[in-house]
Amino acid sequence: MTTTQDISMGLPIIDLDIFLNGSQDATDVQAECKKAAQALITYGALLLHDSRVSEEDNITFLDLLEDYFAQPEAELKKDERPELGYQIGVTLENTEKPKCAVDEPCLRIIEKLDPAERPLDITAHSPDPKCRFFWRMSAGPPPYETKFPSLNAANIVPEAPHIREQWPGVMDKWGSSMKNAVEGLSEMTAVGLGLPASTFKESGTYGPHLLAPTSSDLSKYGTKDTILAGFHTDLNFLTIHGRSRYPGLHIWARNTGKRIPVKIPPGNYLLVQAGKQLEHITGGLIKAGFHEVVVNEQTIDVIERRKVEVPERPLVRISSTFFWHLNSDFDLAPILSLAEESKKARAEQFNLGKDEGEEVVYPPMKVGQLVQN
C-alpha cells in the first residue's frame, strides 16, 4: 500500500482543493495555507494536489511532445528563434549551459553539501544534452509598453502538419491546468505568509508564463550518470512539473541539504518549486530550489521496460514543466515584513550550526532585469 509519505519522498503534500472549496477565513483553509508557505520556506518545494488536473491531459501532452522531438533536427530548427534569445520556440540540445558551473555562490553551495548528497559533477562546463520548447501562456500583451519585448514575444506553432494541427489545443489545455494550479498555490502561499491572497497572483497577471517542456533523447543519452540538466535554480516565481514517464529529477531540500529523487504519482499531483523571483520578493525567506535531471538506475529500468511494452514509441524523456512569472515590468523588491522574518530565520539557523553562507542582497529591480541578467 502506497502512503502519502512514500508518494512525496518526504515533501509536504498541499491540498489545493481545501483552498478552492472553502472560505479563506476557515480554520482548515488557513492551516493549509500556512502549511504551503512553510513547505516552501523549509524545503523550497512541495507536492500539490488539485483534483481538476487530468492524467489523460498529461498523457496526451507527453505523446505529442515525444512525436515532436522525434523529428529530424532540420525540422526542429525551423522553430528556433535565437534572435529572441530562445525565449520562444525550440532550443536544440547542447545549447543551454547550467549557470552553476561558473557561478561561485552556487559552487560554494555544492561544497557545503555532504559528498554523498552532491549533484553529479558539472564542472566540465558542458552544455545540457536536452532540447526545450517555450510556449507562451500569458494573458496576452500587457496594457502598457513593456521594456522587455523579447520576454513577451508571440508563440511559434511547429511547421510539421501532423504536429501543427494538434499543437495549440494540447499545449493550451495542459498548460492551463498547470497555470491554474500554480496560481492557486500562489494565493495560498500569500495567505500563509500573512499577505492578501491576491498579492502574487495580481503581480503576475501579465507575466510571460511559459509551458517549457524539455526533451532528452535516451537512445543517445541513456547511459547511467549522464547529466540531462545540470544542477541549477529557476529564474521565475514558481515552477510546476507534471509527471514524466522517466525518473531522474532530483531536488535538494533547503533544510537538510539532502538530494530527493522526485516521484510524482499518477493522477492529480504536481511538483512545485520556488524560483528566484519568489526568493527575491521574500528577501530570502523562501529560497529558490536547486534541482538536476540525470540518468539513474530507475531511468534505465523504465527505458528497458518501454522498449518491450511500446517498441514503436521514441525513447524521449519529456519533462512537463511550467514557469510562472511575475510581470516583466513589475518592480521587484523584498517585502519588508518577510525580509525581517528572513533575517530572524537566518540567525536561528546560524545558532543551530547551519551556516547558509554570505548574506544575499536583493536590490530593487524590474523582474525582466532579473531574468535577462
What tens digit of pLDDT does each residue of 125-161 get?
577 888 999 999 988 888 888 898 877 788 999 988 9
C-alpha cell of 154?
508571440
Picking from 315, 280, 317, 115, the residue whose alpha carbon sits closest to that of residue 200 is 280
Q: Within the chain, where are the H helices?
A: 4-8, 16-21, 27-42, 55-69, 73-77, 104-112, 161-164, 167-192, 198-203, 276-281, 297-309, 336-351, 367-372
Quote the pLDDT of residue 339: 95
| Ranges 119-128, 227-236, 243-252: which has the least confidence | 119-128
Report how far residue 88's alpha carbon sits from residue 134's, in angstroms, rounded to the nearest whole number: 5
Q: CB-based contacts of 59: which residues, under 8 Å, 6+ apart?
A: none
Q: Which residue has the higher pLDDT, 123 or 365?
A: 365
Report how far residue 115's alpha carbon sits from residue 57's, in angstroms, rounded to the nearest whole number: 39
Q: Within 10 Å of residue 111's Cβ, how many Cβ atoms?
A: 10
Q: Mean pLDDT score of the chain, rounded to an integer?
A: 90
C-alpha cell of 5?
509519505
CA distances from 210 to 150, 177, 198 (A): 13, 13, 21
Picking from 120, 116, 47, 123, the residue whose alpha carbon sits closest to that of residue 256 is 116
Superfamily of domain 4-372: B-lactam Antibiotic, Isopenicillin N Synthase; Chain (2.60.120.330)
Helix (H) or strand (E) holding 270: strand 269-274
Give yes or no for residue 285 having a pLDDT over 80: yes
Report how far residue 370's alpha carbon sits from residue 366's, in angstroms, rounded to the nearest whole number: 7
233: which DSSP letter? -
Averaged over 242-259, what is the pLDDT? 88
Q: Is 113 exposed, middle or buried (0-12, 13-18, 19+ CB in 10 A)?
A: middle
Residue type present at position 204: G
Averaged over 231-236, what is the pLDDT? 92
Quote the pLDDT of residue 4: 44
3-state DSSP assignment of residue 288: coil
Helices (H) and strands (E) in the chain, counts: 13, 16
Q: Sorting pLDDT into bands at 50, 70 and 90, what band is 24?
A: very high
Averaged over 205-214, what is the pLDDT? 95
Give yes or no for residue 8 having a pLDDT over 50: no
Residue type present at position 129: P
Residues 98-129 pLDDT 10s: 767 667 778 888 888 888 888 887 666 577 88
Picking from 333, 319, 325, 336, the residue whose alpha carbon sits closest to that of residue 366 is 333
Residues 85-102 pLDDT 10s: 888 999 998 877 776 766
Report how far residue 368's alpha carbon sits from residue 348's, in angstroms, rounded to the nearest whole number: 33
For the full predicted model, state whether its pTM sits above 0.95.
Answer: no
pLDDT above 70 as % of the chain: 94
Q: Within 10 Å of residue 63's Cβ, how many Cβ atoms?
A: 15
Report how far residue 19's alpha carbon sits from residue 182's, in angstroms, rounded to the nearest whole number: 13
